[in-house]
């Protein structure tokens, strides 16, 4: 839904008002209005559709719980997206107690490529499948940097890792994705 001058469309305002009053029909309307788009967000941060559905449900529970905190300033789409990303981060953090990074970032080994250029050359579904196959720490660092615009300090804070580990994870994710996509191109060309 498009917004103009930071004013929510009238229909969305009514739905949000109903949600704030605890009306189930309004909650269902809001869910159906955003579920498909937010499922796409959740798919980037999870390994498969089942995990994405869990994150989506957790995210919508948070949307309904914290809806009173949405001030109407800025985009509601952006606000709900941020909640979904945070729900994915929460799931990752709970699963990652046993996950740790083996390789620390070294500037002479790890390069920094242009992510926007890198990802723009490939089909979204193809890239999503490859990103979902990355180790979870790499997947989260890649997504937070590329899709959410987080810098390494922000990634480190969000994931509870060091800034160097964030750099290493992002670099390794890029390297793995580039190798997979290069291999795929060679197979297609043959």
The pLDDT tens digits for 4-27 are 344 468 899 999 999 999 999 999
Note whether 122 and 184 are same-domain residues: yes
Note whether 153 and 115 are same-domain residues: yes
- What pLDDT score was predicted for residue 109? 37
**Taking the alpha carbons of 132, 137, 81, 115 in that order, is the dihedral positive or negative?**
negative
Note whether 89 and 152 are same-domain residues: no
Task: Report the CATH number that the domain containing residue 170 is assigned in CATH.
Answer: 1.10.10.10
Which residues form the domain of 184? 99-189
User: Do residues 59 and 67 touch, judged by C-beta distance below 8 A?
Assistant: no
Count structural domains, the chain: 2
DSSP states of 149-164 = ---HHHHHHHHT--HH
Task: Report the CATH number that the domain containing residue 92 is assigned in CATH.
Answer: 1.10.1740.10
Could you report the per-residue pLDDT of 86-115, keeping only the tens digit for each?
A: 999 999 888 754 444 433 433 343 344 444
Prediction pTM value = 0.73
Question: Tokens in use for 61?
Answer: 């529970």
* Residue where one domain finishes, among candidates 96, 118, 137: 96
In degrees, rounded to 5, the angle at the alpha carbon of residue 94 between the alpha carbons of residues 137 and 20 is: 115
- CA distance readout (Å), 108 to 30, 47, 104, 112: 49, 31, 12, 11
User: Do residues 169 and 101 touch, judged by C-beta distance below 8 A?
Assistant: yes
> pLDDT (tens digit, 0 to 9) for every residue of the chain, 190 residues total?
444 344 468 899 999 999 999 999 999 999 999 999 999 999 999 999 999 999 999 999 999 999 999 988 888 999 999 999 999 999 988 875 444 443 343 334 334 444 445 555 567 888 899 999 999 999 999 999 999 999 999 999 999 999 999 999 999 999 999 888 888 665 555 4
Note whether 114 and 33 are same-domain residues: no
- Distance, C-alpha 126 to centroid of its chain: 16
């Amino acid at each position: 839904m498009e917004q103009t001058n930071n004013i929510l469309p009238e229909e969305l305002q009514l739905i949000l008002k109903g949600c704030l009053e605890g009306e189930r029909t309004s909650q269902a309307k809001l869910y159906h209005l955003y579920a498909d788009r937010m499922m796409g967000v959740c798919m980037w941060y999870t390994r498969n559709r089942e995990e994405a559905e869990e994150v989506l449900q957790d995210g919508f529970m948070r949307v309904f719980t914290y809806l009173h905190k949405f001030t109407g300033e800025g985009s509601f789409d952006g606000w709900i997206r941020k909640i979904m990303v945070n729900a994915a981060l929460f799931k990752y953090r709970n699963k990652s107690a046993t996950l740790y990074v083996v390789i620390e970032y070294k500037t002479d080994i790890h390069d920094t490529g242009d992510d926007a250029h890198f990802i723009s050359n490939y089909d979204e579904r193809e890239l999503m499948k490859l990103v979902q196959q990355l180790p979870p720490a790499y997947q989260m660092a890649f997504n937070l940097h590329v899709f959410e615009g987080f810098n390494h300090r922000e990634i480190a804070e969000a994931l509870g890792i060091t800034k160097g580990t964030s750099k290493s994870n992002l670099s390794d994710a890029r390297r793995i994705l580039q190798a997979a996509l290069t291999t795929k191109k060679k197979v297609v060309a043959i």
